[in-house]
Amino acid sequence: MSKYITTPIYYVNGEAHIGHAYTTFIADSMARYEKLKGEDTYFLTGTDEHGQKIEESAQKSGKPTQEFADEISASFKNLWDEFEISYDKFIRTTDKEHKIGVQKAFEVMYNKGDIYKDFYEGHYCVSCETFFTEMQLVDGEFCPDCGRSTNVIKEESYFFRLSKYEDALLKHYSDNPDFIMPRSRANEVINFVKGGLRDLSVTRTSFTLGVKMPESIKDDKHVMYVWLDALMNYITALGYGAAEEKMRYWPASVQFVGKDILRFHAIYWPAFLMSLDLPLPKHIGAHGWWTRDGEKMSKSKGNVISPKQVADAYGVENLRYFMLREVPFGQDGDFSQRAFIDRINSELSNDLGNLLNRIIGMSGKYSDFEIDSVDVLKYHKKEIDAMNLVLDSLDAFMQNFQTHRYLEELWRLFSIGNKAIEEHAPWVKMKENRKDEALATVALVANILAKASIMLHPIMPHTTNTIADALNFNIDNSSYKELILDKKLLKLFNIKVVPPLFPRVEEPLMPEAPLAQPNANKEIAQEAEKCSRKQDNLIEIGQFFETSLKVGIVVAAEEVPKSNKLLKLQVDLGEDKPRQVVAGIREFYSAESLINTQVCVVANLKPAKLMGMVSEGMLLAAKDEDGLCLIRPEKPKKVGTPIG
């Protein structure tokens, strides 16, 4: 079965930052993984070049729109080329074939009766290129997604009958629980659809930068809504509406997106596809945000980190490893230079790099760089079995896009190798004239390194080719089949000396401090390392006690209208009256289930306003890829009991 993997197409309103690089790295690694397995795989990325946002950015730059789009699109493409992203096609929505495909799709939906003409009056957020109803706005004016001011727009518009697809969408989510990954993200989509879908305005008359209407409809005032145009890229790239020879790749096996654009991909896109009578993608993989100081990194906020700058300092493959290892798929992650350096030094340099160096050194010393695997099974059955168990477990993590777990498990192989060397001490065996045994251990570890490099190849292609070169084999589909699927050992190694792959990083390599500051005080940092709390910033105990934490009991709870996330709670903290706490936990708890249950509350936060309601505290909770749970006292405690 063929595989089709996509990234979002990136807006050309600014250069790529590490958020874009992250999506592209995940998709690239997945595509490389499938190709390594011998799957017929097509990998698409590209740029989104229409809409009011781009028109405004071009105007600000003082350049003609097309020239502006050409430059930024090229900067994305050049960066991906420099990073050796293995895309099969880089699509631009200004490509002629794309526009023809979008017009064709519009026509099909129109002829089916799924698109009709009417008037639209609503509040438009240019940054999100989305209309909102008055009720959806925060404080009657602000965009509920990005918080920016919205504009009132009244215009004639064509509408897509999104409401018609409500039931079909809900059925699809329930029949295909893995459609939205991670599963924990599905609830927000399902709740949104259950809340009722309004027909979607899919054309604009207020600006001109967009795909024109199809000839057959002849309504030149209108251009197509940028999201309709953009989403269609996933099929126009395969030739939809023109030469359709690549449409055999459809449906996509996975479409990677950031959680910010999940709604477009998990609601609008499937509805458009249903209208076009095309099958739906197998998975929409929604990842979290890279944040800086807790805030989403974004071009419009200007708080971005340049992937080129990081890659120049640390190497692009180290960056790929770090980003895919650091953050569980679906979760947010803060980009910290300290955490990056820790992973380079401990995992890449110590665990992997040193193991390779030891094998190069021992093979040279004991047998002139030539070792065979004849005695490996005789002396190392236990290690081989352990290695095979790890190798067998890996595919499932990749299929669930859990790159952090995949790498974590993969690293167990290096522990098996390092442990075997310590336990069997080949240098002692050599002294005792037990050369066969000594060489068997070296060959075992060489095999471990070979197999691990095959599995690491999709994430670190060059580095693993260097390892393969040092061990004298090739990483390709046939070695994948032999060494991973058939579990064979490499018979003979002719080992080559290669320079250390991962020089240790002693000091941050980025000039000023564009990333999170490393801990200023080295001693404290070392102490923290011992406690294996490497990435936390240490605080004084007094600082902790500045936070007043108290046990409370929920005495009333209700859903906040128009919000999929918020619940309004009344929490008794033993004060003269209960406090109102507005908490973003509705996806995980129903209002009724909370009544009469105990919670832990941050009681001395400045009151905040959420959707116009005052919130006088915050509940303690823990969230991972399986969802969120409240932190509660193990046994019931008197309300108001301080925690600490």
Name which position in 4, 5, 22, 271 contacts ligand ME8 (CB under 6 A): 22
Q: Helices 18-36 and 316-326 meet at what angle, rounded to 10?
A: 90
b/e per residue 581-612 (b: at least 16 CB within 10 A): bbbbbbbbbebeebeeebbbbebeeeeeebbe
Task: Name the segment binding ligand ME8 (CB under 6 A); options: 8-16, 30-38, 74-82, 210-218.
Answer: 8-16
Collapse the DSSP code of 121 into the 3-class scheme (helix H, G, I; strand E, B; otherwise coil) and give the result: strand
Beta strands 203-204; 223-224: pairing state: antiparallel
Answer for which of 5, 257, 327, 603 binds ligand ME8 (CB under 6 A) is 257
* Residues 274-293 interacting with ligand ME8 (rule: CB under 6 A): 289-290
Q: What is the β-pairing status of strands 642-643 and 549-559?
A: antiparallel
25 binds ligand ME8 per the rule CB under 6 A: no
Give the nearer residue to ligand ME8 in terms of CB position, either 110 or 256: 256
- Beta strand extents in 208-261 (DSSP E only): 223-224, 254-258
> Which of 4, 10, 68, 321 contacts ligand ME8 by CB under 6 A?
10
State whether residue 526 is helix, strand or coil. helix
Tell me if the bond preceding 461 is cis, omega within 30° of 0: no
Task: Examine residue 182 and say whether the peptide bond preceding it is cis (omega within 30 degrees of 0).
Answer: yes
Q: Which is closer to ligand ME8, CB of 159 or CB of 272? A: 272
Residue nearest to ligand ME8 (CB): 19
Neighbours of 565 (CB within 10 A): 18
- Enumerate residues 297-356 that contact ligand ME8 by CB under 6 A: 297-298
Query: Which residue's CB is nearer to ligand ME8, number 23 or number 349?
Result: 23
The single residue among 107, 155, 260, 587 that binds ligand ME8, judged by CB under 6 A, is 260
What is the amino acid identity at position 193?
V
Q: Which of 448, 486, 482 is nearest to 467 (CA)?
A: 448
Residue 230 or 440 with smaller CB distance to ligand ME8: 230
Near ligand ME8 by CB under 6 A: residue from 3, 123, 222, 296: 296
CB atoms within 10 A of CB 397: 18
Q: 136-195: which residues touch ligand ME8 (CB under 6 A)?
A: none
- In the complex, least distance from residue 296 CB atom to ligand ME8, rounded to whole angstroms: 5
23 binds ligand ME8 (CB under 6 A): yes
SS3 labels along 291-354: EECCEECCCCCCCCCCHHHHHHHHCHHHHHHHHHHHCCCCCCEECEHHHHHHHHHHHHHHHHHH
User: With binding defined as CB under 6 A, does residue 210 bind ligand ME8?
Assistant: no
Instruction: Please report how close the Cβ of residue 386 comes to ligand ME8 at its closest, in angstroms.
Output: 36
Residues 38-77 close enough to bind ligand ME8 by CB under 6 A: 48
Q: Which of 5, 19, 240, 344 binds ligand ME8 (CB under 6 A)?
A: 19
Does residue 550 bind ligand ME8 (CB under 6 A)?
Answer: no
Closest separation between CB of residue 73 and ligand ME8, Å? 11
Which range binds ligand ME8 by CB under 6 A, 177-185, 296-304, 306-314, 550-558? Answer: 296-304
Establish if 8 lies at the interface with ligand ME8 (CB under 6 A).
yes
For ligand ME8, the binding residue among 3, 4, 20, 169 (CB under 6 A) is 20
Smallest separation, CB 96 to ligand ME8 (Å):
19
Taking the complex as a whole, how short is the minimal distance between the CB of residue 320 and ligand ME8, in angstroms?
14
| Options 186, 189, 202, 231; binder of ligand ME8; rule CB under 6 A | 231
Q: What sign does the dihedral 596-601-604-610 (CA atoms) show?
A: negative
Whether residue 127 contacts residue 102, with contact meaning beta carbons closer than 8 Å, is answered with no
DSSP 451: H
Is 56:213 a contact under the CB 8 Å cutoff? no
Contact 27, 38 (CB under 8 A): no
Q: Which residues form the interface with ligand ME8 (CB under 6 A)?
A: 8-11, 19-20, 22-23, 48, 230-231, 233, 257-258, 260-261, 289-290, 296-298
